[in-house]
């Protein structure tokens, strides 16, 4: 596990199954910001919508304040360099680099996160979610796109970030299939709250258009598939639905 000299102010969210979850307060290019830090007891395999396949023991979800949005869109830097500057103090505290961690980002304050845990016999699933849907909710494939990526450069607005951890060993096919289960569960949460498209309120939203996922494998009890017919898939879906519903409520203040 990465040795952490905890000098930055933080809010301890809790320790779940040996995993420390804290909100860390720091300066991001001179602007007050906060980052969710998930510190694993050892390096674990994971699949991320930002990184692809990754092995690390540090996962961050960084809040990018609105005053830094122009800084984020400076195309003279690559995205890794930009985020390395945004969470520079957090990286220094962990004694690591932006290349050696997994991270997501959002315009939402990390204190608005929600956590849900499911346990069944020897298995557990932990879902950690932030969700901003006010300005960017959309019905995918129906609402028109509002941006385009060229040569790795694109815009980011609000987002739903789901980070899902388990003690089960997730083989590569299970990591991939987890994205289907997590996405379907997120849609259940949006339906339960009747979240509408920001572009056409007559339509239910399916996401924000910039949603991100990290699924983290465990170290025991091998699983090759986590669809809805499997117990672990059911647990993932229940945890993600609950954490997403609560995260949206937290972001909306109710």
Identify the three-state secondary structure at position 102.
strand
Start-to-end Cα distance in the chain? 37
β-strand partners of 160: 131
In terms of Cβ atoms closer than 10 Å to its own Cβ (0-12, 13-18, 19+), residue 74 is: exposed
Q: Of 25 and 7, which is predicted with more confidence?
A: 25
Identify the three-state secondary structure at position 11.
strand
Domains of the chain, each with CATH number or no CATH: 10-146+155-252 (3.60.70.12)
> Per-residue pLDDT tens for 147-199?
544 455 444 456 899 999 999 999 999 999 999 999 999 999 999 999 999 88
β-strand partners of 63: 106
Residue from 118, 102, 220 nearest 161 by CA:
102
Predicted pLDDT at 209: 79
What is the Cα–Cα distance from 6 to 154, expressed in whole angstroms?
Answer: 34
Output helix, strand, coil percentages for the chain, rounded to the nearest 5: 30, 35, 35
* Residue whose structure tokens are 């983290």: 216
Beta carbons within 8 Å of 165's beta carbon, 6+ residues apart: 17, 19, 38, 125, 126, 128, 215, 216, 218
Contact criterion met (CB below 8 Å) for 56 and 104 = no
What is the Cα–Cα distance from 162 to 50, expressed in whole angstroms?
Answer: 12
Q: Model's pTM, two decimal places?
A: 0.91
Predicted pLDDT at 156: 47
> Per-residue pLDDT tens for 60-108?
999 999 888 778 777 667 778 889 999 999 999 999 999 999 999 998 9
Mean pLDDT of 4-25: 94
Contact criterion met (CB below 8 Å) for 160 and 127 = no
> Per-residue pLDDT tens for 182-241?
999 999 999 999 999 988 899 999 888 789 999 999 999 999 999 999 999 999 999 999
pLDDT band at 41 (very low <50, low <70, confident <90, very high): very high
Predicted pLDDT at 69: 79
């Amino acid at each position: 596990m990465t040795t952490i000299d905890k000098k930055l102010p933080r809010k301890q969210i809790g320790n779940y199954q040996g995993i420390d979850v804290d909100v860390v307060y720091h300066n991001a290019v001179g602007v007050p910001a906060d980052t969710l830090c998930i510190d694993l007891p050892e390096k674990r395999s994971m699949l991320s919508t930002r990184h692809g396949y990754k092995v690390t023991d540090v996962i961050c979800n960084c809040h990018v304040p609105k005053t830094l949005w122009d800084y984020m869109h400076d195309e003279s830097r690559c995205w890794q360099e930009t985020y390395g500057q945004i969470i520079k103090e957090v990286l220094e505290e962990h004694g690591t680099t932006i290349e050696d961690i997994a991270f997501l980002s959002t315009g939402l304050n990390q204190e608005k996160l929600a956590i849900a845990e499911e346990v069944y016999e020897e298995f557990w699933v932990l879902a950690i979610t932030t969700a901003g849907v006010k300005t960017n909710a959309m019905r995918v494939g129906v609402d028109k796109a509002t941006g385009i990526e060229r040569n790795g450069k694109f815009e980011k607005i609000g987002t739903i970030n789901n980070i899902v951890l388990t003690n089960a060993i997730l083989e590569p096919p299970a990591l991939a299939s987890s994205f289907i289960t997590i996405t379907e569960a997120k849609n259940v949460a949006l339906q339960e709250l009747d979240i509408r498209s920001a572009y056409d309120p007559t339509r239910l939203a399916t996401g924000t258009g910039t949603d991100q996922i990290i699924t983290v494998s465990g170290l025991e009890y091998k699983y090759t598939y986590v669809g809805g017919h499997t117990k672990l898939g059911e647990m993932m879906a229940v945890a993600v639905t609950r954490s997403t519903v609560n995260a949206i409520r937290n972001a909306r203040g109710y």
